[in-house]
């Protein structure tokens, strides 16, 4: 004899939100936020842990990740040259 067919339920997969914070090159904590000000063409990068604040020029179509990467590379170059 056969069984009754079980009703299949839809499993809801939840996407994990990406963190709004990036890693600070100075203090190594995930405490950097990037605030893009498109009218001024500038992005303000701020670390809540060590107090690092820097402004980076923003080009059209740049996202927060693009701005952070450019900042990180320039910061590392400055530290190596000192």
Residue ranges of domains in the chain: 22-81
Question: pLDDT tens-digit profile of 28-77?
Answer: 999 999 999 989 999 999 999 999 999 999 998 899 999 999 999 999 99
* Between 6 and 76, the higher pLDDT residue: 76
According to the model, what pLDDT value does residue 10 have? 75
Q: What is the pTM of this model?
A: 0.74
The structure tokens listed for 36 are 């893009």
- How many beta carbons lie within 10 A of that of residue 57, not counting itself? 11
According to the model, what pLDDT value does residue 1 have? 64
- How many beta carbons lie within 10 A of that of residue 71, not counting itself? 20
Q: Which CATH number fits domain 22-81: 2.20.25.190, 3.40.50.300, 3.40.50.2300, 2.40.70.10?
A: 2.20.25.190
Question: pLDDT tens-digit profile of 11-22?
Answer: 777 777 666 799
């Amino acid at each position: 004899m056969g069984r009754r067919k079980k009703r299949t339920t839809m499993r809801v997969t939840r996407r994990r939100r990406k963190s709004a914070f990036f890693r600070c090159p100075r203090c190594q904590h995930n405490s950097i936020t990037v605030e893009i000000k498109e009218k001024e063409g500038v992005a303000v990068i701020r670390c809540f842990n060590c107090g690092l604040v820097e402004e980076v020029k923003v080009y059209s179509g740049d996202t927060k990740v693009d701005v952070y990467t450019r900042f990180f590379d320039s910061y590392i170059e400055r530290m190596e040259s000192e």
